[in-house]
């Protein structure tokens, strides 16, 4: 879908080009090996919200520090949500993004849970187009690279009482990205957290809010200590059912081709997950979203019924899981090869995202025209 580059909102945008943008040489050097989340483009977007004035003063400005009062509510009570999506360069040079309305709607659901205002999806998509209008040259063209787009919103009101803030800011920044994991798309080992939960029933687990990621960091460090790239959480009630990894969803593949992924009110609804499941259904695979126990995974691997596992998310795309390690067990082997279905679904998804295959579901939106 393409949206013309005219205002789709009644907001009047203030655009201040960066007077000292990154040099072409420096930018090209960064784009040849961007890593993940290390470098930022020359501009950023912000839109203010106040209880009295609603959304106002949308701006594109040079990327740089944000001025905040030390008493800004987000610094104390973590009233914050964020999103993650990517801009892809196609072979003809054009720039596209993937299902941005889904991210925009998810940000609204997250905002609702965090008592933040809901940014209209049109503003969300327009902000992506506005940033690309200035920073389009930052979208890399090497295989499997992209420009990671990070919209976020936080309580900026200077107030220490615990109540929803009356002043909020929405921002969008962008960062050129290669593979999320250091080993590229090589299969990863993951660590089962048996001591900590990511989220509880009725909590904020289904919202994309910083607090959930903060809660994952200590167990994530434990994962690193055990040579694992990600941590897997179980449900907080019984410690029995799979939830999600620190920053991505998890899928198991049965030998008959069935894909099984946890259903739970406390995990994030993944846009990449939803897309992969749709592509699998299109191929005639059975897809089950239901509670999945750790015992099911262990027994399935032991019997040979579960043959593949993978992680998926915007940053991770689709990453094969070689091994699950716990304090007193392990499933699979660190050097296990990537699953065949895993890799072919990854290929199909990225072929669509990079314009190499027919976008049969209408998932792409052009950002640069």
- Shortest Å, Cβ 250 to ligand COI: 13
Distance, in Å, from the CA atom of 312 to the CA atom of 245, rounded to the nearest integer, reads: 9
| Number of residues assigned to the chain | 369
Residue among 107 and 315 whose Cβ is closer to ligand COI: 315
* Interface with ligand COI: number of residues (CB under 6 A): 6
- Shortest Å, Cβ 315 to ligand COI: 3
The site map against ligand COI for 186-225 (x = CB under 6 A) is ---------------------------x------------
Of residues 257 through 296, those in contact with ligand COI by CB under 6 A are none
Residue among 197 and 220 whose Cβ is closer to ligand COI: 220
Q: Which long-range contacts (CB under 8 A, 24 or more apart) does 68-76 make?
A: 68/156, 69/156, 69/158, 71/158, 71/159, 71/160, 72/154, 72/155, 72/156, 72/157, 72/158, 73/155, 73/156, 73/157, 73/158, 73/159, 73/160, 73/165, 74/154, 74/155, 74/156, 74/165, 76/160
Distance, in Å, from the CA atom of 193 to the CA atom of 243, rounded to the nearest integer, reads: 11
β-strand partners of 311: 250, 319
Of residues 235 through 254, those in contact with ligand COI by CB under 6 A are 247
Residue among 187 and 313 whose Cβ is closer to ligand COI: 313
> Which of 21, 34, 58, 84 forms a contact with ligand COI (CB under 6 A)?
84
Distance of CA 312 to the CA centre of its chain: 9
Distance, in Å, from the CA atom of 314 to the CA atom of 317, rounded to the nearest integer, reads: 5
Q: Please name the helix (run of DSSP H) or strand (run of DSSP E) that holds residue 148, with its range, or none.
A: strand 146-155
Q: Which residue is nearest to ligand COI (CB)?
A: 84
Residue among 168 and 271 whose Cβ is closer to ligand COI: 271
**SS3 state at 43:** strand
The site map against ligand COI for 302-321 (x = CB under 6 A) is -----------xxx------
- Shortest Å, Cβ 175 to ligand COI: 10
* Tokens linked to 215: 């809660």
- Shortest Å, Cβ 82 to ligand COI: 7
Residues in contact with ligand COI by the rule CB under 6 A: 84, 213, 247, 313-315
């Amino acid at each position: 879908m393409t949206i013309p580059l005219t205002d789709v909102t009644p907001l009047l945008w203030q655009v201040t080009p960066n007077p000292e943008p990154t040099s072409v040489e420096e930018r090209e050097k960064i784009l040849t090996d961007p890593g993940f989340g290390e470098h930022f483009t020359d501009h950023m977007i912000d839109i203010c919200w106040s209880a009295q004035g609603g959304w106002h003063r949308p701006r594109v400005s040079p990327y740089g520090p944000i001025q905040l009062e030390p008493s800004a509510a987000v610094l104390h009570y973590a009233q914050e949500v964020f999103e993650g999506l990517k801009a892809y360069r196609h072979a003809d040079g054009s720039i596209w993004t993937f299902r941005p309305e889904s991210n925009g709607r998810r940000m609204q659901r997250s905002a609702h849970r965090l008592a933040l205002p809901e940014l209209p999806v049109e503003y969300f998509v327009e902000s992506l187009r506005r940033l690309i209008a200035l920073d389009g040259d930052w979208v890399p063209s090497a295989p499997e690279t992209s420009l990671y787009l990070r919209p976020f919103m936080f309580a900026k009101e200077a107030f220490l009482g615990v109540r929803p803030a009356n002043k909020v800011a929405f921002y969008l920044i962008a960062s050129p990205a290669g593979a999320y994991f250091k080993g590229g798309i090589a299969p990863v080992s993951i660590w089962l957290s048996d001591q900590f939960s990511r989220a509880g029933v009725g909590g904020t687990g289904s919202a994309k809010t910083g607090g959930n990621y903060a809660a994952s960091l200590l167990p994530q460090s434990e994962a690193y200590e055990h040579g694992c790239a990600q941590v897997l959480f179980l449900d907080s009630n019984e410690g029995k059912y799979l939830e999600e990894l620190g920053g991505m969803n998890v899928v198991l593949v049965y030998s008959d081709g069935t894909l099984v992924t946890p259903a739970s009110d406390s995990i994030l609804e993944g846009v990449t997950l939803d897309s992969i499941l749709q592509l699998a259904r299109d191929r005639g695979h059975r897809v089950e979203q239901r509670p999945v126990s750790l015992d099911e995974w262990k027994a399935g691997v032991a019997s040979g019924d579960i043959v593949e596992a993978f992680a998926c998310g915007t940053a991770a795309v689709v990453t094969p899981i070689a091994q699950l390690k716990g304090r007193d067990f392990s499933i699979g082997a660190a050097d296990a090869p990537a699953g065949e279905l895993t890799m072919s679904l990854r290929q199909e998804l990225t072929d669509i995202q990079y314009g190499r295959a027919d976008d049969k579901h209408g998932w792409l939106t052009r950002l640069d025209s």
